[in-house]
């Protein structure tokens, strides 16, 4: 059985236990090492959790279940799950936050630290700043789970 089919089976079994037939899952093989799963349905938003923590845990759980079932321990394998477009909406909010902080850093001419974020959210900010604010440098400080992005004006 190939990767996509094993992941479909695992996700189906997990969701059937909690959501019966009240969900729809779409699987997209983005590359040989990346599978995206979009889940929609009644009540599935509970799988997002506060700040997406449950969603992240679900991704890790499904990846681990896949590796255990298939014996395929490919470190490159990524299983990306989005529930009711949470990640798309979250990226937009993160970009709005980054724009506000960037404008503030430039207008004040000093370093601005953003709230603690997970690695995915920090990555979104670093990319957004790099693409849209050539006069700013972004970096990360602190240790997990309190790691945050710092924006610094450059001359």
Identical fold for domains 3-84 and 89-153, yes or no, is no
Overall fold of domain 3-84: GMP Synthetase; Chain A, domain 3 (3.30.300)
Highest mean pLDDT: which of 7-16, 26-35, 126-135? 126-135
How many helices (DSSP H) and strands (DSSP E) are in the chain? 4, 6
With both helix axes pointing from N to C terminus, report the angle between 53-70 and 3-19 in degrees, rounded to the nearest 10.
130
Among 112, 54, 111, 117, CA closest to 91: 117
Share of the chain above pLDDT 70, in %: 99
What mean pLDDT value characterizes the chain? 91
* Model confidence band, residue 99 (pLDDT cutoffs 50, 70, 90): very high
Q: Which residues pair with 31 in a beta bridge?
A: 34
pLDDT number for residue 86:
94
What predicted TM-score, i.e. pTM, was given to this entire model? Answer: 0.76
CB 40 within 8 A of CB 88: no
Q: Any idea where the domains of the chain sit in the sequence?
A: 3-84, 89-153
41, pLDDT greater than 90? no
CB 39 within 8 A of CB 7: no
CA gap 28, 137 in Å, rounded:
35
Question: What is the dotted CATH code of the domain comprising 89-153?
Answer: 3.30.1370.50
Q: Which residues pair with 81 in a beta bridge?
A: 37
Share of the chain above pLDDT 90, in %: 61
Residue 113: in which H helix or E strand, if any? strand 112-116
Which string of b and e fits 53-84 if b means at least 16 CB within 10 Å? eebbebbeebbebbeeebeeeeeebebebbbe
pLDDT number for residue 1:
62
Lowest mean pLDDT among 26-35, 100-109, 134-143: 26-35
């Amino acid at each position: 059985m190939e990767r996509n089919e094993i992941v479909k089976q695992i996700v189906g079994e997990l969701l059937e236990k909690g959501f019966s037939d009240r969900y729809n899952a779409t699987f997209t093989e983005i590359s040989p090492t990346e599978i995206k799963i979009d889940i929609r349905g009644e009540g599935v938003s509970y799988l997002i959790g506060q700040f997406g923590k449950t969603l992240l845990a679900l991704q890790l759980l499904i990846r681990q279940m896949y590796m255990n079932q298939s014996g395929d321990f490919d470190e490159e394998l990524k299983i990306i799950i989005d529930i009711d477009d949470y990640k798309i909406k979250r990226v937009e909010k993160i970009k709005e936050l980054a724009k506000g902080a960037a404008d503030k850093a430039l207008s004040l001419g000093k370093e601005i630290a953003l709230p603690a974020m997970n690695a995915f959210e920090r990555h979104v900010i670093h990319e957004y700043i790099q693409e849209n604010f050539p006069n700013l440098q972004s970096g990360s400080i602190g240790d997990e789970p309190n790691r945050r992005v710092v924006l610094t004006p450059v001359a």
